[in-house]
Amino acid sequence: MTARYPMGLIETRDAIACGDRRARDVCDEALRAIETRDVELGAFLHVDAEGAGRDAERIDAVLARGERPGDLAGVPIAVKDVIVTRGLPTTCGSRILDGFIPPYDATVIARLRAAGAVLIGKTNCDEFAMGSSNENSAYRVARNPWDTTRVPGGSSGGSAVAVAANMCAASLGSDTGGSIRQPASLAGVVGLKPTYGRVSRYGLVAFASSLDQVGPFARAVRDVAELLTVIAGHDPLDSTSVDAPVPHYSHNLRTTLKGVRVGVPREYFVEGIDAEVERAVRGALGRLKDLGATIHDVSLPHTPYALGCYYLIATAEASSNLARYDGIRFGFRAARADGGALALREQYTATRERGFGDEVKRRIMLGTFALSSGYYDAYYLKAQKVRALIQRDFDAAFREVDVIATPTSPTAAWKLGAKVADPLQMYLADIYTVSCNLAGNCGVSVPCGFTSENLPIGLQILGPAFAEERILSVAHAYEQSEAWRTRVPPHPETA
């Protein structure tokens, strides 16, 4: 049997629901695609073929009885390996959690299962979601399906690759400073960072608790909207979850933009942006205007301070959150060369030294320094004050416009290894995305063109808190207007 390409979420769900396709066949196609492509691409850290097949057969049995199995019945979905899954490994791409199997499901996983989704596996990521290229994974490097010599972006690179390469219909990632939107841009798919508090963080392994948010990837805006409807909503297990109504996002998408005011921040088109990226994004702004939107110049004056602010707050929170990985409670535990036990202090030191990778150690040390006595006020407290100013910038801009449109990334995908030795250059890859997390707003990246080397470029559409309907509508209208929206990366036929 030949795989149907591309595999859309709603299209697949509807075909299964009406009996045109069997959930087991769809599942098997996804598993064959993984078997064929993932040796090269490195999108998955764990594939649950047995569990996925069992769940797919259960969906087919429910449908055969004439019952309704859920809004995602039979849809194969992959999940970033920082989201805990009962009975399946959750490593966060780190050796320090090698072999860890959680005893419970994250809330988003429970909601996927309740909706009938088939969990196909756990996707590769930068260690503890710390990175912009997926090269920090302790297990394997993920590669961009448009050009396997290039990065797919990070930290949710595996989730973006799995969707782009048609190994699943959709996936979940996490976004702390751009980790959904940036790989979505580099891999040529749609990725949404919801408002902070819109989606439960219960069961999301914490990197920076005031910034982290779970969100969806898919090949179409409508599919992202459908998946968001399932995972969004209040969760009493998450103290930061907001109790607000959840619209049916995919039912409320627009195809025209008459009357929509689109802001373009002058601070985002600066020296350092790739010329082809700027040309594609400005072309997309012209298309938004053709669809009825009005384009307005806006200012986000504290943008130049966003990256420094982010890397103080994020590393400070990371140093606190990662203190729990000590070799005692769970995961990897260092031992003496002869297999004997170490003294407690030696146990802590050896476990963290051997278990954490270089980037995680770097961020723990930076964060610990920023929180240390004598430096807290000068660094962490000042960063929190700048964060408030960045949020005020967005609040002021959104009084003048409905959405803000920017590049998602200053460049298209770069060569593997090109920035590994220069952390600052790697951090600059997130220059257009971190502000959204600092402000707690929502943002989506949608493909808006290609470079001369056939590498995807993303358009970022930002909205105020809980304006997901608004930004998804703008993204959908734009997506539907582009003839190349169905373009897919090179792929072998999946037999």
Q: Are 88 and 122 in contact (CB under 8 A)?
A: yes
Q: Strand 214-218 relative to strand 456-463: parallel, antiparallel, unpaired?
A: unpaired
Cβ neighbours of residue 320 under 8 Å, at least 6 residues apart? 367, 371
Kindly state the tokens that stand for 494.
Answer: 């999946």
Distance CA 361, CA 200 (A): 28
Q: What letter does residue 381 receive in the DSSP assignment?
A: I
Q: Are 410 and 428 in contact (CB under 8 A)?
A: yes
Q: Would you call 319 a catalytic residue per the annotation?
A: no
Kindly state the tokens that stand for 320.
Answer: 């606190």
Q: What share of the chain is helix, strand, coil (3-state, %, to 5)?
A: 40, 15, 45
Kindly state the tokens that stand for 379.
Answer: 């660094």
Distance CA 434, CA 303 (A): 10
Q: Would you call 179 a catalytic residue per the annotation?
A: yes
Phi, psi for residue 215 in degrees, rounded to 5: -155, 170
Distance CA 354, CA 351 (A): 5
**How many helices and strands in the chain, by DSSP H and E?**
15, 11
Q: Are 109 and 92 in contact (CB under 8 A)?
A: no
Q: Which of 137, 179, 185, 319 is catalytic?
A: 179
Q: Rounded to 5 degrees, what angle do the CA atoms 426, 432, 434 make?
A: 80
Q: Which of 155, 171, 185, 250 is catalytic?
A: 155
Residue 475: name the closest of 244, 213, 293 by CA: 293
Q: Would you call 241 a catalytic residue per the annotation?
A: no
Angle, helix 49-64 to helix 23-41, in steps of 10 degrees:
160
Distance CA 156, CA 51 (A): 23
- Rg, the chain, Cα only: 22
Residues that are catalytic: 80, 155, 179
